[in-house]
Amino acid sequence: MRALIVTAVAAEADSVVSGLTGPTPHPDPVTPEPRALPGRYLISRRDLPGLAADVLVGGVGPAAAAAATATALALADYSLVVSAGIGGGFAPAAPVGSLVVADAVVAADLGAETPGGFLDVQQLGFGHSVHLPPAELAARAAEATGALLAPVLTVSTVTGTADRAALLAARHPLAGAEAMEGFGVAEAAAAHGLPVLEIRAVSNAVGPRDREAWRIGEALAALTAGFRALGPVLVHWGEHRHES
């Protein structure tokens, strides 16, 4: 199978590549094309001949992620799209350094504020507010990586106050993490009829913004470990999907 793995920034892409190729990654750049995207690598695992992946640096935020993903999907054929990177975790379920695999990719702040409360874009009748990854794939990915299986929220503005964290937790009591790209990636995947998976490594708690408490290095290391364990799951799922 061939997967498109979309990250926001280069450090996340490097962590994914390290996990998929081993401790000394040697990614081969994709053959240049007239419309080829920058920061895109085609990699493979020698011990997993059934897996190839393009790792793409797509940019920060749902719009950039959707645009980059859609462009990449127009240039090659894929079986699966994965949104990957670091994010905030909802305590206590997703502590710093842990992983969250999405059983739902949720647009948490796309909608309208009304006197009666927030209405998401689906309630407004303008599309979808949730994308569901393949249930078996998400469950296997969570089990293999030791991740929490829970909704991952996509936000355009990262949470930085206790009030905002409480509001999101009240609206989405099962949420495990928040990030800024998953729903954009999922929208592009859905437009091409492809399944999506999202995996987040927790670098900070969702709540008051405290840069001193962020553990980005720890989260990137967790992302690498997660993708090292995720490779065989993707191969198995690809083979099963092809047979069915």
Query: Average pLDDT, stretch 137-162?
Result: 96
Mean pLDDT over 100-104 rounds to 98
Task: Using DSSP, state whether 187 is helix, strand or coil.
Answer: helix
pLDDT digits (tens, 9 = 90+) for 23-39: 544 444 433 333 344 45
177-179 and 148-154 strand pairing: parallel
How many angstroms separate the CA atoms of 235 and 123, rounded?
37
Average model confidence (pLDDT) across the chain: 87
C-alpha distances in Å from residue 57, one per residue of 42, 132, 218: 12, 23, 20
Whole-angstrom distance, CA of residue 200 vs CA of residue 15 = 12
Residue 103 pLDDT class (50, 70, 90 cuts): very high
pLDDT, tens digit (0-9, with 9 covering 90-100), for 106-134 = 999 888 888 988 888 888 889 889 999 99
Report d(CA 44, CA 26) in Å as an integer: 10
| Mean pLDDT within 35-63 | 72
Q: Is the peptide bond before 92 cis (omega within 30 degrees of 0)?
A: yes
User: Across residues 150-159, what is the average pLDDT?
Assistant: 95
CA 75 to chain centre: 20
The answer to whether the beta carbons of residues 204 and 213 sit under 8 Å apart is: yes
- Strands (DSSP E) found in 90-242: 99-107, 111-114, 117-120, 130-131, 148-154, 177-179, 196-205
> pLDDT tens digit string along 184-207?
999 999 999 999 999 999 999 999
This prediction has a pTM of 0.88
